[in-house]
Amino acid sequence: MLTCCHGSHDATIFNNSILKTECDAGQFGYRWLLGDSAYPNRPYLLTPVLNPVSEVEHRHNEALIKTKNTIERGFGVWKCSFPVVALTLRSSIPNMQAVIIATTILHNICRNQSHRNTL
């Protein structure tokens, strides 16, 4: 789930990304991305079923919602830990990428450390 501060929709950003090209080329094997209903159906992209009718379609949508909520909570914790990522980053793309990568690594180190301390 990609978010942009300049008003571009996530699907527009994805459709113009290197990641999409790599996914289209099958570089990630049997791995999936989650998308909302703005995304087209792709073998690597799980999207909700519009107007679900069957039980399987309803369960598919429920599983996507639960997974998306888990991811959103994780992003929320990350943004609370590192407010710089919650703000509009006014920097070059390479610097923004460095901030995102660095804070993600630090976030994961903190999570791993706290899990070790609870054992």
pLDDT level of residue 5 (50, 70, 90 thresholds): very low
Is a pLDDT exceeding 90 seen at residue 119? Answer: no
Decide if 82 contacts 106 (C-beta within 8 A).
Answer: yes
Residues 6 or more apart whose CB falls under 8 angstroms from that of 33 comprise 23, 44, 45, 46
Is a pLDDT exceeding 50 seen at residue 39? Answer: yes
| Burial 9-46, CB ≥16 within 10 A → b, else e | eebeebeeeeebeebeeeeeeeeebebeeebeeeebeb
Distance CA 24, CA 33 (A): 12
DSSP 95: H
Give the CA diameter of the chain.
47
Q: What is the pLDDT of residue 3?
A: 42
Asked if the structure places residue 105 within a domain, the reply is yes
Asked if the structure places residue 76 within a domain, the reply is no
Q: Which residue has the tokens 């301390």?
A: 117
Distance CA 82, CA 11 (A): 25
Q: What is the pLDDT of residue 91?
A: 78
Q: What is the pLDDT of residue 115?
A: 65
Q: What is the pLDDT of residue 4?
A: 43
Q: Of 10-14, 47-51, 92-96, give the range with the top mean pLDDT.
A: 47-51
Asked if the structure places residue 104 within a domain, the reply is yes
Check: pTM over 0.75? Answer yes or no: no
- The domain in which residue 116 lies consists of 83-119
Q: Which residue has the tokens 């909570």?
A: 73
Asked if the structure places residue 74 within a domain, the reply is no
Distance CA 28, CA 56 (A): 26
Asked if the structure places residue 111 within a domain, the reply is yes
Domain tally, the chain: 1
Higher-pLDDT residue of 88 and 32 is 32
Q: What is the pLDDT of residue 47?
A: 92
